Structure 1
Amino acid sequence: MSYVVVGLGNPGKEYENTRHNTGAFFVEIFRRLAGFPEWKEDKERKLLVSEGKIKGKKVLLVLPQTFMNKSGEAMGRIKALRFKVKNKKREADNLTVVHDDLDLPLGRFKISFNKSAGGHRGVLSVSKAVRTDAFTRVRVGISPPFVRPGRSSAGGFAVAGGKPKKPAGEKAVIDHILGEFKPAELAVLKKLSKKVNEAIQTIVVAGRDKAMNIYNSL
């Protein structure tokens, strides 16, 4: 069985460094660190794909080349996806989706399973395409970290116990997610990428539950 790891984002150079492309950003880092081949374009299915192995496990990396809100159009064409029914609910057993999340501060990430899209239209599109929200998600924070008075955000990381300072209003949200990362923010993401990379590997090799136990407690 191949594991399918999907990085959500918008196609095109103009979107590469935007916050909404965080998922694609981290899957690209994973590809390079794992030594997987360069991306191969599948024009018919509107995907970029790269295949390799992690400790003997087959892994298919995918970057949808539809726009974010239509990510599911590409997902429905991935033949490697496997499903099962558990507790009368359909599960996408081998799917992990990496994406940006406004509910988490910059510098934090969380592994989730069987959760609603939470307003993320790319995730919602995927859920509709695979006909379930029971799949693994690696949610990477992009909201400015809330800093308590007298405390430092330590170079961009949220302070312990801090909450994300989410943009308020639809325009502010759109401006934020489609805005480019500042150099200091990119430095935070690059530092975080080691842990995210380890988390994805753990999901593939040891399973989602173990990965959640390790990385959701950080």
Structure 2
Amino acid sequence: MKCIVGLGNPGEKYRTTRHNIGFMVIDELLRRHSFDLNKSKFNGKYALEHIGSNKVLLLQPQTYMNLSGEAIRPLMDYYDIATEDVVVVYDDLDLPTGKIRLRQKGGPGGHNGIKSTINHLGTKEFKRIRIGVGRPDTPQPVIDYVLGSFPKEQKDDVQDSVTKAADVFEAWLEKPFIEVMNEYN
């Protein structure tokens, strides 16, 4: 079974924020395949479905960003999903808005959702799709920036990156992640 985890914060208040771009990718996959997040367990909403011949779990943790690992690890254990079969998608301040980067492992890079995931998985070696949200143009606390919505002029770039990230996951169902990285990075 393959698992894609989109990081974000639950609730309508956060739906369109930069920090919720991981949730947006899950929403795109749900839309493409006419799935619903119809299951709830271990502080996560998820869908357990088939895409082609692959069984997939699409997860949106409901713990808030900083505690994401608390939802990911129990679901992996419950469904016996290996770490190498998980990809986590999240926002990245160090990439320009709309850019995506794939990695097979790494540190948290200051991202508290990834820090929680590393702590709960007990490893830094899990696949990631980082989606750029850029840095603020004006001095402001990072938390205010990531909890803010994208400006209208960035909507197309954001949608393109969400679409690409969903394409990455679907490509990974068919070929090794290293090949997908070479294609999309």
Taking structure 1 as the reference length, what is the TM-score of the superposition? 0.79
- Partner residue, 1:196: 165
* Aligned partner of 1:179 among 139, 144, 148: 148
Structure 1 position 28 matched with structure 2 position 27: yes
Q: Can you give the 5+ residue segments of structure 1 that lack an aligned partner in the other structure?
A: 84-91, 144-165
SS at 1:114's partner residue? coil
Deviation at 1:168? 8.4
Structure 1 position 53 matched with structure 2 position 53: no
- Partner residue, 1:99: 90
Q: Work out the CA distance in 2 between the residues paired with 1:14 and 1:184.
A: 21
Q: 1:144-175 CA distances to partner (integer Å, 9 max, x unpaired)?
A: xxxxxxxxxxxxxxxxxxxxxx3489943112
- Partner residue, 1:76: 73
Deviation at 1:195? 2.0
Q: Work out the CA distance in 2 between the residues paired with 1:213 and 1:174.
A: 32
Deviation at 1:107? 1.4
SS at 2:167's partner residue? helix
* Aligned partner of 1:121 among 79, 103, 112: 112
Q: What's the C-alpha RMSD, in Å, of the aligned pairs?
A: 1.8
Q: Work out the CA distance in 1 between the residues paired with 2:56 and 2:141.
A: 37
Structure 1 position 108 matched with structure 2 position 105: no
Bigger CA radius of gyration: 1
- Identity over the aligned pairs, expressed in percent? 32
Aligned residues: 183
Higher relative contact order (CA 8 A, sep 6+): 2
SS at 2:174's partner residue? helix
**CA contact under 8 A between 2:105 and 2:125: conserved in structure 1?**
yes
The residue type paired with residue 207 of structure 1 is P
The residue type paired with residue 26 of structure 1 is V
Q: Can you give the 5+ residue segments of structure 2 that lack an aligned partner in the other structure?
A: none
Q: Work out the CA distance in 2 between the residues paired with 1:215 and 1:195.
A: 8
**CA contact under 8 A between 1:202 and 1:210: conserved in structure 2?**
no
Moved over 4 A (4+): 168-171
- Partner residue, 2:37: 39
Taking structure 2 as the reference length, what is the TM-score of the superposition? 0.92
Q: Work out the CA distance in 1 between the residues paired with 2:139 and 2:86.
A: 30
